[in-house]
Structure 1
Amino acid sequence: MNLSLKNTRFVAIGGGHGLGRVLSALRPYGENVTGIVATTDNGGSTGRIRACQGGIAWGDTRNCINQLITEPSTGSMLFEYRFKGNGELDGHNLGNLILTALGNLSIRPLEAINLIRDMLKVDTHILPMSEHSADLAAITQQGEIISGETSVDELPNTPTRLFIDPPVPATCEAVEAISKADVILLGPGSFLTSVMPPLLLPEIGRALKNVTAKVVFICNLDKEAGPAGQMSHETMLHWCERAMGGRRIDIVLGEDASVSIDPSYTYIISKLASANHKWRHDRDNLSKAIEEMLVDG
């Protein structure tokens, strides 16, 4: 951790894998880091649980917590366990089931998350974008309305618009964390289904519009499959800015020097990829790039 940044308040927004990487890169900053997690996933184990139990999607939250566990324990092994076999439990992650159960026992989903954080000794704050069940929906280029993240991912073309259905309020702690942040990080991750959903909540969009914090967009390291793969970096930036009421993104952080981005944006090129998986952000590289970006900027 750069000591000159030790009191910096970070807010990172996104979904499971990408957001988890950012949060783990910022882990040395402890309680000064808040992750705001998308809760609209309707695929895999999460989607099956939502279909029979209702509630928010827990999978991305579980993924983020998994990447923040520093002390292996029986509790952490249970939280990461995934069932195999031919029965109804096949493919289910026990962490998803635990969070669902705790959510049913708690007054608020956030209480369930904090119980798990305490049990697994995770200092970073993890906040669901909303504590109310909702899905990601889209309007296609043909004017058709579709619902569900899996349906959005299967679109042959980029939708003309995304929205949250039904309209739900943002978690008040998420709005407060944004208003107090010094640095706000968007991405990396699936752009349409991880980065965009939290931004579509009006309270979060308004909070981002009014921040004095630096807003940083972290690029993916490889082109996405599905409709997001057809979007240029500038188009993604404009979608984010539209959701933020026109608030400009201050810095774009990426690895590819050949990417064409309007020179009005500050584009910082840094080594971000893992040595073993060129499409995955390395925690240490990402941590170093963020610190250098802030110190030099």
Structure 2
Amino acid sequence: MNSSLTTPRFVAIGGGHGLGRVLSALTHHGENVTGIVTTTDNGGSTGRIRACQGGIAWGDTRNCINQLITEPSTGSMLFEYRFKGNGELDGHNLGNLILTALGNLSIRPLEAINLIRDMLKVDTHILPMSEHSADLAAITSCGEIISGETSVDELEKPPSRLFIDPPVPATHEAVESIVNADIILLGPGSFLTSVMPPLLLPEIGRALKTVKAKVIFICNLDAETGPAGQMTLNTMLHWCERAMGGRKIDLVLGEEDRPEIDECYHYRREKLASANHRWRHDRDSLSKAIEQMLINS
């Protein structure tokens, strides 16, 4: 490791609820934790904002920040507020609108994120995978090119390939955090639309290829709907490794027995599910499992 076991530096990569869950499980590590967030969502409130305003997708970032708020306040309630009723505001999350407005006022989207982090007293670093607008695109098994996360989710079969369109640079702070990390966590979350997009950026892929940190893949607790649900765990791991220039994943963490997993992978089984929602990772259980991996590393 680059640092002592008492102050490991974590980088978690993904999007949406899954990344937020991992980051919230590591909040006691404070500023030693960085989340690299997918910015290609084009559905829901985020998609509507992007359609009329352009820019990066803010929804996954907002979701992660929401899960990291430890001191409820009027500010946090505003950030989480979702409009209801008739008209154009119906379904919009105020946090998405705030981040969009701050992004328009700031030199960099990262500045907007840091302003919200300071306001809501969030220590964990949140970094967009890129500060440039782009979409997730795919080449289907028939050779057709489709664009947009929602289109990828609607595929009947897993695509042959994913790519970011147009090609955009990774946020340099994200690359730097990977280079300096001790532990890198991939997932859980929607594999094709949350976990994979950051890995498709060349700078991130190259950084992961040569990093000395341990790379850990966290499995979902329930099968995905859509095309990713047809992919085996081995296939998912191979997709990640291909994006990382062939760099092997050091450890796979899950709750169920995985007899099908290749023998070349070190698989660790732990109790991870929330008592109330079997599909959701319990923060304390996930934190304990990660801490145990640190002790055994």
TM-score norm. by structure 2 comes to 0.98
DSSP 3-state at the match of 2:57: coil
Deviation at 1:259, TM superposition (A): 4.6
| Structure 1 residue aligned with 2:170 | 170
- Tell me if the contact between 1:11 and 1:36 (Cα under 8 Å) persists in the aligned partners: yes
Q: Which amino acid aligns with 2:94?
A: L
Q: Identify if the C-alpha distance between structure 1 residues 207 and 266 changes in structure 2 by more than 3 Å, giving closer, same or farther.
A: same
Superimposed CA distance per residue, residues 218-271 of structure 1 (whole angstroms, 9 cap, x where no aligned partner):
000010000000000000000000000000000000000145211111000000
Deviation at 1:86, TM superposition (A): 1.1
| Structure 1 residue aligned with 2:193 | 193
The reply to whether residue 139 of structure 1 matches residue 102 of structure 2 is: no
| Structure 2 residue aligned with 1:292 | 292
- Tell me if the contact between 1:14 and 1:188 (Cα under 8 Å) persists in the aligned partners: yes
| Structure 1 residue aligned with 2:115 | 115
Unpaired segments of 5 or more residues in structure 1? none
The reply to whether residue 230 of structure 1 matches residue 230 of structure 2 is: yes
The reply to whether residue 260 of structure 1 matches residue 267 of structure 2 is: no
Q: Which amino acid aligns with 1:172?
A: H
Q: Which amino acid aligns with 1:184?
A: I
DSSP 3-state at the match of 2:92: coil
Identity, in percent, stands at: 85
Superimposed CA distance per residue, residues 44-74 of structure 1 (whole angstroms, 9 cap, x where no aligned partner):
0000000000000000000000000000000
Q: How big is the alpha-carbon RMSD for the aligned residues of Structure 1 and Structure 2?
A: 0.7
| Structure 2 residue aligned with 1:270 | 270
| Structure 1 residue aligned with 2:27 | 27
Q: Which runs of 4+ in 1 moved over 4 A?
A: none
In 2, Cα distance between the equivalents of 1:259 and 1:6? 34
| Structure 2 residue aligned with 1:73 | 73
| Structure 1 residue aligned with 2:280 | 280
| Structure 2 residue aligned with 1:87 | 87
In 1, Cα distance between the equivalents of 2:226 and 2:257? 24
Which runs of structure 2 are paired with 1:39-58 in the superposition (5 Å)? 39-58=39-58
Q: Which amino acid aligns with 1:255?
A: E
In 1, Cα distance between the equivalents of 2:104 and 2:16? 22
The reply to whether residue 101 of structure 1 matches residue 101 of structure 2 is: yes
- Tell me if the contact between 1:6 and 1:29 (Cα under 8 Å) persists in the aligned partners: no
Superimposed CA distance per residue, residues 147-193 of structure 1 (whole angstroms, 9 cap, x where no aligned partner):
00000000000000000000000000000000000000000000000
Deviation at 1:6, TM superposition (A): 3.1
DSSP 3-state at the match of 2:290: helix
Deviation at 1:278, TM superposition (A): 0.3
In 2, Cα distance between the equivalents of 1:245 and 1:263? 21
Superimposed CA distance per residue, residues 197-237 of structure 1 (whole angstroms, 9 cap, x where no aligned partner):
00000000000001000000000001000000000000000
DSSP 3-state at the match of 1:5: coil
In 2, Cα distance between the equivalents of 1:260 and 1:146? 31
Q: Which amino acid aligns with 2:225?
A: A
| Structure 2 residue aligned with 1:18 | 18
Aligned residues: 294
Unpaired segments of 5 or more residues in structure 2? none
